[in-house]
Structures are given as C-alpha cells and as structure tokens.
Amino acid sequence: MSRTKVLFICLGNICRSPMAETIFNRIITDHQTQNEFYVDSAGLISYHQGEMADPRMRMHAKRHGYDITHRSRPIRAHDFDSFDYIVAMDDDNYERLYDLAPTLEDAKKIVRMADYCTLPGVSYVPDPYYGGDQGFERVIEMLENACMEFYHSIIDS
C-alpha cells in the first residue's frame, strides 16, 4: 500500500506549517495510521532554512502537549511530484503555490487549510509571527480543528 503524502506550506516554515505538520502527525499516531502517511512542511521562502520553528510557536505548542522538531526548508520543484496534497495556510500561499506548480495536474494537489476548518468565521490561517500570544493560540486552535477534518476527509475518501 502506498502512503498518502502531505506537505503543509506557509511563508517561512517557522510557525503555521510546522505546527500543522506536528498536529497532523499526532492525529495519525493517535489513530494508529502513521504507516499510511508521510507528512512534511515547507515554506515559500528560504530565509529561515535550517532553523527550528519560531520560539514563540514552540512555547505555545508545548503548552498544548506538542513538540515541534521540524527545521525550516523551502518548497522544491520535485515536491509537486512527491506529494499527494500540498496544503496552503492562506490565499497568498495558495496563489504562490499555484504559480509554482509545474503542471495543471500538480496544481490540483494544492488545497487550502481553512477549507477544512469548521470553526466559525475562519477563511484562512493567519500568520501569528507579528502578533502576540493570542495569535499563536488561535492558530493552534484552528490547525487542530482543520487538521482533524482534513485527516477524516482523506481517510473517508
């Protein structure tokens, strides 16, 4: 059986996408389906390449029982070949990914994280980088909800 490969994307790969990767990994572990998935995250820019997630995101993640171990990396052209789902955190990420997609078939792999969020009024996952503690907490709440719904959409399909 082939594994479903999921790549979470945000701008710098230091806040939202590594948090989504960590949450999704917890979900597949809790559901004992980790052998059915390969999960990673990346950024649209390489500015933070090799860095751990933002210390504030790691701190808030710890408060929720998560340990983010991912190191930032930029998206690569071959990621479009390698992954089944490329999950954008906001519309800007989505549009930039669409522009990067080598083919129309590859572009069909791009989905919006917020499309899976059932919390009221969520149309994108905002970047908490320039905000305070509340922004990081809200992003974790959104991602926990959206990742669970995304997981079920894959498993149930």
0.75 exceeded by pTM: yes
Q: How many CA atoms lie within 13 A of 148 on its CB side?
A: 9
Residue of 10, 15, 117, 147 marked catalytic: 10
Q: What is the pLDDT of residues 43-64, one digit of tens each?
A: 999 999 999 999 999 999 999 9
pLDDT attached to residue 104: 96
Residue of 16, 58, 96, 112 marked catalytic: 16
Q: What is the pLDDT of residues 7-42, one digit of tens each?
A: 999 999 999 999 999 999 999 999 999 999 999 999
* Domain 4-155 class in CATH: alpha beta
- Please name the residues in contact with 112: beta carbons below 8 A apart, sequence gap of 6 or more: 87, 88, 90, 91, 94, 124
Please indicate whether residue 58 is annotated as part of the active site. Answer: no
Rounding to the nearest 10 degrees, give the CA dihedral for residues 147, 57, 64, 17.
10
Please indicate whether residue 147 is annotated as part of the active site. Answer: no
Q: What is the pLDDT of residues 75-88, one digit of tens each?
A: 999 999 999 999 99
Please indicate whether residue 15 is annotated as part of the active site. Answer: no
Residue of 40, 79, 106, 127 marked catalytic: 127
